Structure 1
């Protein structure tokens, strides 16, 4: 058996209706809600910094704390997701997101803001392991990549509502009220979480004796790949407007392009998931190709000029960050019956890279200049693609 022939073997749970999409809707809503504390506070950076007297560096550290808490919390989250019912785990994520937004809205100093982001990051850590467990138990194998693409698309859609709040609510109502309005999302997600019932899971399939060892080596390389690729792609997403204005676009046009790139990213993730289900064995190859497209996009951005930025940014944000759902599907096929472990593994790389990217990019661009820093980011994404290839090759060799 080759790497690409590994199939998910999770037994369908007793009482399953075979219609998992209402539950997937709950997972998507919870995914968006769990990211709202980070994206909501980031979208309101200027008034928050001014209102709390926090420096840009301090604000960046607090925001990185959210992603660091999500990455480090994955180790505990996979155990929680394996033991508690999926709706309970999703509801807990919604409660923590709601608490984080309320705490941030009431913050009187930077320390409270940082604590709020840590609370939100802990809640966000619960989502992907719970999603992995649900998908493994309820989604038919022929729709696996579509389902993981939906989870990935939720991450791409998460900045849209905070952007609207920043644009239309923060000015007339203030940033604190805007954050409280953002809390409507987790408030709705909490009761909706109970649509994601899984029934009683069947026994995990038997695996070859060398399966855990083969999976372990590949998982390390694929997790590293996710982290490296996210560092580059997240830097482009976080500093999108700055990169656009540096390339000659107006601030307004760069902001419009950021919204367009977000919409394209959502469409790419859904389309890639649906298409990948036609040949699921090729998911690792598609992930590598999308990482390479992201590196090419960053290289175009570094070249400078409005046209190069538009083409490169769309590649870097939409293509270069569109692989997350496909990687989750590939890991789930590598870990049959362990959806919560698969979800936790992928998000360790994703959010670990997201925690590093903003601060590293900001410091490097100050020292090296924007074009050189973007090229460095492209090289980091290339290293991620190489790690993805190495992990796939190692699994093929081990499988014989």
Structure 2
């Protein structure tokens, strides 16, 4: 009887690894955000440094994501996934033990952003290789729901760890969690091949970068508006007359509902065959309407705008990844390295642009501009999809030719 060591890891374990690595990858940035009051008081730094740190993290993620496809081809999917989790663990450990001045924080967040950037496309490829076609939508939805999960973990760290034990202990525990994630990733020999035979939904064949760059531009705009929601929802609510404690609860509820929306949309993608990139564009446009509600200054409309925004304008990330991987059969890491790069760039630039506009105008103006950008984002996504499918006959023919050659 053969030992269990040689048996393939199930798709559930591969998907779990993708979700947990994604959570660990963004945890350093969100820990800095929620622990900033304690960090700032301890290191005696100015409030503007937080924006620099978050922007550095997401900007580095965007740049490094562009190289993830090459890195996956060179090192392999599993090694890159593990490298991403190990980078998160080491950077949080460095912050816990050695952050005595702002330079260490900046360097740590830049390195952590690099690890997060390479880990996102690699974990996408892990799902594409290991999870069957009929469950990949749910898997990508769960993966993207890991980002709100990391926010939740960071928030829980404040009352349970940071206040009684200090913010350095919270970073130390985060490093331990990330290391446990690395150890849980199945080895390359244990990965199943459930996803390798999944049929393409709309197109497949030779790699086309130009349409993906257009699509990435739309996703960048959408991510910028979505991350502005995550960054300024609480301050907008407080400015509208909602009590700070209530605004915090509203943000937590909206984020949790948004995470569930990402999972639900992924679940539906496995059961309904439709033009999912058009659904992504529609989500962005509806999100734009919700952002306009945030600029009204009316308490009830602000609450509705926050919840609807999280469920639409910032709930499409997993669905877009699912659509791109299905349209680039066997090239998930290469294709999503471009789209993830766009999302990372938008996530970095969005809050900075919103904050800059807010400093010279008002919440009403800033949210109106954000709403307009969300609609533009949807239109650019439609254009990117059109460009991807314009060569569909040639792409599908090339895919069939490769399959025939493989059988010969």
TM over 0.5: yes
CA contact (8 A) 2:212 2:338 kept: yes
Task: Quote how far apart the aligned CAs of 1:18 are.
Answer: 8.8
Structure-1 residue corresponding to 2:158: 166
Q: Which residue of 2 aligns with 1:329?
A: 322
C-alpha displacement of 1:117: 0.3
- 2:123 alignment partner, one of 117, 123, 131: 131
CA shift in 2, pair 1:93/1:300, >3 Å: same
Q: Is contact 1:328-1:342 (8 Å) kept?
A: no
CA distances 1:208-236 after superposition (whole Å, capped 9, x unpaired)? 999547x4343122101110011111011
Select 2:47's aligned residue among 50, 56, 59. Answer: 56
Distance 1:319 1:167 in 2: 30
Query: How much does 1:155 deviate?
Result: 1.6
Taking CA–CA contacts closer than 8 Å with sequence separation of 6 or more, which of the two structures ends up with the larger relative contact order? 1
RMSD: 2.5
Q: Which residue of 1 aligns with 2:384?
A: 391
Partner of 2:110: 118
Q: How does 1:190-205 map to 2 (within 5 A)?
A: 190-194=182-186, 197-198=190-191
SS at match of 1:125: helix
Partner deviation per Cα, 1:1-42 (whole Å, 9 max, x = no partner): xxxxxxxxxxxxxx9959411111111111111111000011
Verify the 8 A CA contact 1:78 1:340 in the aligned structure 2.
yes
The match for 2:368 is 375
Task: Find the partner of 1:241 among 234, 242, 249.
Answer: 234
CA separation in 1, counterparts of 2:367 and 2:199?
45
Is 1:94 equivalent to 2:67 in the alignment?
Answer: no
In structure 1, what is the equivalent of residue 173 of structure 2?
Answer: 181
Question: Structure 1 residues 356 and 44 mapped into 2: Cα distance closer, same or farther (>3 Å)?
Answer: same
- The 3 A distance-change label for structure 1 pair 210 and 253 is closer
Structure 1: which 5+ residue stretches go unaligned? 1-14
8 Å CA contact retained: 1:224, 1:349: yes
Aligned to 1:23: 14
Superposition deviation, residue 396 in structure 1: 4.0
- Partner Cα distance (2:306, 2:203) in 1: 45
Q: Taking structure 1 as reference, are residues 209 and 306 closer, same or farther at Cα in structure 2, changes over 3 Å only?
A: closer
Q: Does 1:157 align with 2:149?
A: yes
Cα contact 2:262–2:316 (8 A) shared by 1: yes
8 Å CA contact 2:61–2:114 kept in 1: the answer is yes
Whether the 8 Å CA contact 1:241–1:254 is kept in 2: the answer is yes
Structural mapping, 1:59-74, within 5 Å: 59-74=50-65
Q: Deviations over 1:249-282 (max 9, x none)?
A: 1110111111111211111011100111223442
Worse-matched range after superposition: 373-382 or 169-178 = 169-178
CA distance in 2, matches of 1:280, 1:219: 22
Point out 4+ residue stretches in structure 1 off by more than 4 angstroms. 15-18, 199-206, 208-213
Q: Is the 8 A contact 1:82 1:133 kept in 2?
A: no
Q: Which residue of structure 2 aligns with residue 141 of structure 1? A: 133
Aligned residues of 2:219 and 2:342 also touching (Cα < 8 A): yes
Instruction: Judge conservation of contact 1:294–1:320 (CA < 8 Å) in 2.
Output: yes
Question: Residues 255 and 209 of structure 1: is their aligned pair in 2 closer, same or farther, counting only changes over 3 Å?
Answer: closer
Alignment partners' CA distance in 2, 1:317 and 1:304 = 18
C-alpha separation in 2, matches of 1:247 and 1:41:
26
Q: Distance in 1 between matches of 2:380 and 2:240?
A: 31
Unaligned runs of 5+ in 2: 1-5, 394-408
Matches within 5 A, 1:272-351: 272-351=265-344
Q: Which moved more, 1:263-272 or 1:390-399?
A: 390-399
Once the two structures are superposed, residues 171-219 of structure 1 have per-residue CA deviations (whole angstroms, 9 ceiling, x without a partner) of 222222222122232021010112674368979999x999547x43431
TM-score, normalization by structure 2 = 0.88
Change (3 A) 1:251 1:338: same
Give, in whole Å, the separation in 1 of the partners of 2:197 and 2:287. 39
Q: 1:86 to 1:203 in 2, by over 3 A?
A: same
